[in-house]
């Protein structure tokens, strides 16, 4: 359980951070980049399962790419590039 003194310190820190943010004095900022494969899959309108199937990989592998834990191989990278430029191709393949 949080002690009263820890809670008060947390409140003070939070208030100080809010004041800094409001005044435009931000000590640091973090930009979280979404791996390209997430954007590509979203542009195709396909689910993870559908996209993984069309790329010939497991959903687990696709999730690894999307979370930035692993990088697609050369062949998969080429297919992702095709999907970037022509997302309709993957949708057509799925419909076939």
Q: Cα separation of 85 and 40, whole Å?
A: 9
Answer with the residue of higher pLDDT: 28 or 52.
52
Q: Which residue has the tokens 């310190």?
A: 9
Q: Cα separation of 11 and 5, whole Å?
A: 10
Confidence of residue 64 (pLDDT cuts 50, 70, 90): very high
Q: Could you read off the pLDDT of 4-22 as tens digits, one per residue?
A: 788 888 888 888 878 887 8
- Same domain? For 54 and 91 the reply is yes
CATH number at residue 48: 1.10.260
Which structural domain range is residue 2 located in?
Answer: 1-30
Give the global pTM.
0.61
- Same domain? For 51 and 65 the reply is yes
* Count of Cβ atoms closer than 10 Å to residue 77 Cβ: 14
Q: Which of 45, 56, 40 is nearest to 95 (CA)?
A: 45
**Residue % of the chain over a pLDDT of 90:** 24
Answer with the residue of higher pLDDT: 94 or 79.
79
- Same domain? For 24 and 46 the reply is no
Which residues are CB-neighbours of 92 under 8 A, at least 6 positions away? none
Confidence of residue 33 (pLDDT cuts 50, 70, 90): low
Please tell me the total count of domains within the chain.
2
- Same domain? For 40 and 61 the reply is yes
- Same domain? For 4 and 43 the reply is no
């Amino acid at each position: 359980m949080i002690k009263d003194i820890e809670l008060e310190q947390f409140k003070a820190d939070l208030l100080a951070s809010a004041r800094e943010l409001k005044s435009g004095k931000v000590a640091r900022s973090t930009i979280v980049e979404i791996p390209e494969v997430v954007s590509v899959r979203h542009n195709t309108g396909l689910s993870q399962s559908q996209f993984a199937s069309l790329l010939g990989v497991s959903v687990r592998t696709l999730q690894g790419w999307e979370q930035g834990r692993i990088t697609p191989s050369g062949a998969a990278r080429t297919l992702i590039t095709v999907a970037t430029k022509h997302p309709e191709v993957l949708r057509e393949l799925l419909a076939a």
